[in-house]
A = this chain, B = another copy of it.
């Protein structure tokens, strides 16, 4: 029954990783300790030897969601001619809209996180800064104006994904994504970039 110290560390990390996906997919209230533990191949009894409370896991899972997605974006944008445009186009794609459990934590969880602990809300503050940094000018060219633009662009991206996900009208959903892309990046020359 017992397991090596290293195996235990891995088990714990697997709980955080599966929670990070399941919380985004089903919401924090939508999955119980049992679900999270058994998804990681464990039983629920061991949970409180690894975490102080569910809220503590939520905090870690949100932080991991942030770090993972940021690592993904930084890799995806590395060496791009226009990283900001590439970022915005990919973020506002149908793929990102549909892959909730691997996507940005802001549209997925910010609505509920508003009511969570200060520690959890501060992860969301970090997330806002992290995303705004990627939308802003290169570090040496930043101004109050460019920062305001970055925040306003982020608001539009997050809002568009949120609305595109909640509507039951698939056509409206795509229309919302396209409107946000075109508005932020300027309309495409032809009907080229609906994908």
Contacts and interface: CB of A to CB of B under 8 A. Distances in A.
Given A111-B110, A125-B169, A148 B175 contact: yes
> By DSSP majority rule, is chain A's interface helix, strand, loop, or mixed?
helix
A21 interface: no
Interface of A: 26-27, 29-30, 100, 106-115, 118, 121-122, 124-125, 128-129, 147-149, 151-152, 154-160, 162-163, 165-169, 172, 175-176, 178-180, 182-184
B115 A112 contact: no
A127 to B, nearest CB: 9
A178 B183 CA distance: 19
A41 B176 CA distance: 42
B163 A110 contact: yes
Q: Nearest 4 A-B pairs (CB), nearest first? A: A159-B159, A111-B111, A155-B159, A152-B183
A156 to B, nearest CB: 4
A148 B172 CA distance: 11
A168 B109 contact: no
Contact of A159 (B27, B154, B175): B154
Given A152-B179, A160-B159, A128 B167 contact: yes
Given A111-B111, A113-B166, A179-B151, A125 B172 contact: yes
22 contacts: A27-B112, A30-B115, A106-B166, A110-B111, A110-B165, A111-B112, A114-B165, A121-B167, A121-B168, A124-B166, A124-B168, A125-B167, A128-B172, A149-B183, A151-B179, A152-B180, A155-B155, A155-B156, A156-B159, A157-B159, A158-B162, A159-B162
